[in-house]
Structure 1
Amino acid sequence: MSMNMHNEMTAPEAIPSLLSSKGERFESDSYAKMVARRFLQHKMAVAGLASFVLLVLIGVFAPLIAPYDPNAIGGAFSAAPSAQHWLGTDQVGRDVLSRLIYATRVSLSVGVLAVAIYVIVGTVIGAVAGYMGGWVDMVVNRVIDVVMSFPTLMVILVLVTVLGTGLSNIIIVLALLGWPPVARLVRGSVLSLRQTEFVKAGVALGLSTPRLIFGHILPNAMGPILVNATFGAAAAILSESSLSFLGMGVQPPTASWGNMLNAAQSITALTSQPWLWIPPGLVIIVSVLSINFIGDGIRDAMDPKKLNV
């Protein structure tokens, strides 16, 4: 009798804890599956993801795919497309297709690395400012206002002139100018999440500030961060292409989409040698559109107003 009574008393106490752990895991899995399902229903986003993955694979396996060395002079100058050179040759006899394939590696690395750096920096700064508040928040906000008050293109040109051209310097410059919008976005999300019950419960339980910020608050603010990162990657690719087109980005003989366009800006190339500028221009358009479609898909998939649809 006493054992039955003991079981009846302990069983109900054990059930909530089991339901809590299993329920949280089930809720997390269900949310992830729901977001993935909604993303897959976005046809343009799926097409963009497929195109972007294809571009990444082309960049990764460029040495295996490219028919020629991108810097080797192996054909006639500005030769039209042929069986030997599918996209023709440039002004010094280099294979355009090979240079386009290797340029994919360079241009995408700028977009991915620059965005990865400034998203991490902006997320940390914005999360700390939003959670700590007070003078920390005030100082961070003033720094963000100062950085965002400068004309971006002019600052990029000045910094590239001071630091020098090259792939690593472009990544550093874009990262230096890209973190303030992310920090402001994360700060706003953290300010709203800081007042929620689960954060107050974590404070009451004595959880450390880093654990609260990075273990509990930021995972609930990842949606806007991911969307910002995708659009930022597209903007970084355009910025690199613009700088290279102006002769202040990646320098020859290293191939990038921008300096391929720069080499084809003569009237002769524009009018009678379209194989020099149409392929890199099309690849830039495809890459930027693909990333933007991915961002649209993530935004729609993680929209809380549509998650129950």
Structure 2
Amino acid sequence: MSRPAPQVDTVRASRPLLLWTCALTTGAVLLIGLTGPFFAPHSPTAQIATPYAAPSPGLWLGGDHLGRDVLSRLLDGGPSVVLTSVLATIIAVTTGTAAGLVSALLGHQRGRSGLVMRPLDAVAALPPVLALLLVLTAVPGRIGVVIAAAVASTPLSARVIHAAVTPVLRRPHVELAIARGEGWGWLLRYEVLPLISATVLADVGLRFVLALYLVTAAGFLGIGSGGSDWGTLVVEALPGAPLQPVALIAPLLLIATLAVSVNLLSDSVTRRTPRTGR
């Protein structure tokens, strides 16, 4: 007779390994992205090789279409991608969480959550890339990318938090606290936020991935901050991919690794976060 218990134990034992693997991978890519310019072996604009030069010692990722060092350009473009994505994520999660809490409270008290959610739903109906193009038309550069990513992410974050908070407000311990005359600030801090912390953590990972997608899309479309951000490197490497595939694979691998590791890390942390209840 088969026993499922050892398989369950194996799954449980693998979760900490997955968590640490995702954390180390995310940390390594973020470290590369933030400190890369300090370790670039060459100037990102210097022509040091023939166009589409193959990888070799001293030119580890080869050259691009102008003979510039791909590794130096990859390291130099990291901060713009990482910092822009992180800033957009912070703005989107903070604003979306506040909007979700307010809409849930209005819905619980007066049945008027639509006052907050309907305008945000209208913004959410706009495709993220279209929002990116519209915002960058008015506010070009890195600031425009941050605004566009925050605008595209905030309604989704608000909807997630609203859905998480609404059932919490109907719990007996919350109703009891309201009957005791506790203020909404106290309720949110001690009764609501501890119960949705796992949801907020999961939402952070999703918003970061969306921000990273929009930041790299802006570079790919040539409407981002310019320079050597990873999206720009991808579009520049496409024509010569048959001659120098490493120049295309390297930025794609960094983008994909960062997105997947952040998503898995968020999911792993969420599973390990205790859901306090009463």
State if a TM-score over 0.5 links the two structures. yes
Following the alignment from structure 1 to structure 2, what is the Cα–Cα distance between the partners of residues 298 and 211?
26
Following the alignment from structure 2 to structure 1, what is the Cα–Cα distance between the partners of residues 267 and 13?
9
Aligned-residue offset at 1:183: 1.0
* Corresponding position: 1:85 with 2:65: no
Instruction: Give runs of aligned pairs for residues 70-219 of structure 1, distance below 5 A.
Output: 70-133=44-107, 134=110, 136-164=112-140, 166-219=141-194
Compared CA separation, residues 207 and 39, structure 1 to 2 (3 A): farther
Question: Paired residue for 2:7?
Answer: none
Letter in 2 for 1:102: D
1:25-62: CA deviations, max 9, x gaps? Answer: xxxxxxxxxxxxx7972433332211110112222322
Question: Paired residue for 1:275?
Answer: 246
Q: Percent identity?
A: 28
Aligned-residue offset at 1:205: 4.1
Question: Is the Cα contact below 8 Å between 1:88 and 1:96 reproduced in 2?
Answer: yes
Which of the residues 188, 194, 197 maps onto 1:222? 197
Letter in 1 for 2:241: L
Aligned length: 263
SS in structure 2 opposite 1:121?
helix
Question: Paired residue for 1:7?
Answer: none
Aligned-residue offset at 1:107: 1.6
Q: Structure 2 length as normaliser, TM-score?
A: 0.85
Is the deviation greater in 128-137 or in 236-245?
A: 128-137
Following the alignment from structure 1 to structure 2, what is the Cα–Cα distance between the partners of residues 66 and 41?
36
Provide the alpha-carbon RMSD of the alignment. 2.3
Structure 1 portions without partners, runs of 5+? 1-37
Question: Paired residue for 1:26?
Answer: none
Which of the residues 223, 228, 232 maps onto 1:255? 228
* Corresponding position: 1:234 with 2:209: yes
Question: Paired residue for 1:59?
Answer: 33
Compared CA separation, residues 145 and 80, structure 1 to 2 (3 A): same
Aligned-residue offset at 1:119: 0.4
Following the alignment from structure 1 to structure 2, what is the Cα–Cα distance between the partners of residues 295 and 141?
25
SS in structure 1 opposite 2:61?
coil
Following the alignment from structure 2 to structure 1, what is the Cα–Cα distance between the partners of residues 184 and 267?
33
Question: Is the Cα contact below 8 Å between 2:40 and 2:71 reproduced in 1?
Answer: yes
Aligned-residue offset at 1:78: 3.1
1:244-295: CA deviations, max 9, x gaps? Answer: 11212231xx2111000111121xx121111221111111121112112113
Following the alignment from structure 1 to structure 2, what is the Cα–Cα distance between the partners of residues 194 and 135?
13
Q: Structure 1 length as normaliser, TM-score?
A: 0.77
Aligned-residue offset at 1:215: 4.2
Following the alignment from structure 2 to structure 1, what is the Cα–Cα distance between the partners of residues 123 and 112?
17
* Corresponding position: 1:291 with 2:258: no
Question: Is the Cα contact below 8 Å between 2:42 and 2:69 reproduced in 1?
Answer: yes
Letter in 2 for 1:65: F
Structure 2 portions without partners, runs of 5+? 1-11
Runs of 4+ in 1 over 6 A off after TM superposition: none
Letter in 2 for 1:152: P
